[in-house]
Chains A and B, each alone.
Chain A
Amino acid sequence: MRYIAFAWAEWRTRLAYRAGTPLAVLASVFTVYAMQAIWKALYHSPEMVRVGGVTASGAVSYMVLTRLFVLIMDDTWTLRLMMGDIRRGDVVTKLARPVDLQGLLFAHTAGRHLHTFLFQLLPTLAVSLLFVRVGAPREPLRFLVSLTAGYVLSFGIQFCVGALTFFWTQVGSFATLIRVLGTLASGAFVPLWVLPRGVATVLSLLPFAGMYSTPLDIYIGQVHGPAALWGVALQVGWAAVLWSGGRVLYQLGRQRAAYAGG
């Protein structure tokens, strides 16, 4: 209940700024349109008929959904909030509440993303379906589990990097580096199955792959059966590691924290 209050407050905050939502949807629709056009064009070239065993429609579905997931998974709001709050000392207002900071921020983020999902992602998908076909998920339940694990994992990465601000106030450049690496290694920029097999295998073992590649590969049926189970297990494992790692960093950071100036 305590944590739901933070999700609720963030949800209400986002509702206060609903005037900007239609423009955000429009921007997302443009991005989806451009992405599907690029991938359709790529699949029209004779060299790229079935890259990695994926058909043109599978590839287009993957990239369209990637653009939609980016709205949530690539939202660095939590990270920016943590970096700013810890550096300025404003985090004391959160630490003065009878709640755990990690849970508080997760609830905050979830409240924000519920709004994004309902008022930005779903409308973008609805409009996009007018000009592009996205197939149904091959294994809906496994996809949902994978997506949830990917979401927790994405939060875990942001929390870990954000908690580093307790030790190093200029963590911004490192955060940018992680974000760029994450974009390349997660399958958000290009699917991992278009990369050389060795590179794809290595990248698929990193936590970033759990954000886009694993759930979307399950969605389009590129990965199924035991391979899908292994992918989800890896995601859950990384989510647990990152959540615990973030917790350790936060506890160590709290011990050495100094908040001057009131």
Chain B
Amino acid sequence: MRSLSKSYVQVQGGAFWRRKRKHVPALDEVSLQIPRGQMLAYLGRNGAGKSTTIKLLTGILRPTSGSVSVLGLEPYRQRLQLLRRVGVLFGQRSQLWWDLPLQDSFAAVRRIYDVSEARYRENLAEFTQVLGLSELLPVPVRQLSLGQRMRGELVAALLFDPEVVFLDEPTIGLDVGAKEQIRKFLQRIRAERRLTMVLTTHDLGDIEALCDRVVVLDAGRIVYDASFDRMMTDHGFIRTMTVSYEHVPTVRAAAVQAAGWDLVGNEANRIVLRYDGRRTTVPQVLAVVGEFGPIADLEVAVPRVEDVLRALYLGGVEPGRGSEGGS
């Protein structure tokens, strides 16, 4: 993608013959390169432009400006050629045939993508076995649970050996067990077939388990692009220390402030401190808080992925931070 933009026309009232129209940018000058075999997490708040990007990459939408190329093809103009080599899963929309048994949907996919009988059987056997769908093949899609259906959607998106797969929120609304099964399946498929995958998700477990690289989108612009590890190193440095004392401590707030830490909790015999883990070590903190009274217990928490992402979404990160991704 090079300077890719997409804007929508939004009608905002006015008389029938004189509608007020406003151009709303969904994607704004986005440039991104995804190397073959990479698993990219494409993140952002609702309305950030994630799904719009997927639709542009699959030729469903036409870019307003900029250029895009997938597998050397221009998606909008060469949609039919491209989609023979690209799998898509829309977590919020089903691509299976609602009233047909799962096996009939898969058989239809085989015909649509012209998969040889031998390859079809091989893939179907492997996928259904790994995803635990073998027993469900004769069951109509409408009778499947959400988790079962989503596993079916995944099989349908991969059955024809695509080179690139776009997964738009594949674990949305699923329980922990179903998510885990889908993640393990994707890890296995990716390792075996060296697929290029783009995953949009709000689920941090997906990112942690699957993705090499994280791109964060906000209001149609890329605000962060780095490897998962780099993201955690760059933004996962805030430590939260909870210190419990044997009795009510004599807290010297000035000492805490002088060290450049935040005292975020102070109640009864417990205090909570937040500090920069890159500049401060645990013994340094203990040297100060140990003077407030005899310590009974302490706990140091590292940020969770969601904390880091929350900070990224809320604009705490300058665009362009992190450069491993190659955008």
Contact = CB atoms under 8 A, between A and B. Distances in A.
B112 A259 contact: no
B140 A16 contact: yes
A82 B83 CA distance: 21
Given A8-B111, A16-B99, A262-B168, A96 B60 contact: yes
Nearest to B94: A93
Contacts of A4: 111
A89 B94 CA distance: 12
B99 A13 contact: yes
B252 interface: no
A80 to B, nearest CB: 15
Contacts of B114: 1-2
Interface of B: 8-9, 26, 51, 55, 58-62, 79-84, 88, 90-95, 97-100, 104-105, 108-114, 140, 168-169
A163 to B, nearest CB: 16
B92 A261 contact: yes
A93 B99 contact: no
B80 A99 contact: yes
Interface of A: 1-2, 4-6, 8-9, 12-13, 16-17, 89-90, 92-93, 95-100, 254-262
Contacts of A97: 83, 112
A96 B88 contact: yes
B112 A254 contact: no
A120 to B, nearest CB: 18
A2 B88 contact: no
Q: Which of A89, A97, A254 has the most CB of B within 10 A?
A: A97
Contact of A98 (B62, B90, B91, B113): B113
B95 A259 contact: no
A137 to B, nearest CB: 35
A6 B55 contact: no
Given A9-B100, A258-B9, A259-B55, A90 B112 contact: no
A12 B104 CA distance: 8
Contacts of A8: 108, 111
Contacts of A9: 97, 100, 104-105, 108
A92 B60 contact: yes
B113 A93 contact: no
Nearest to A257: B61
A9 B141 CA distance: 13
A96 B83 contact: yes
A23 B191 CA distance: 54
Contacts of B51: 261-262
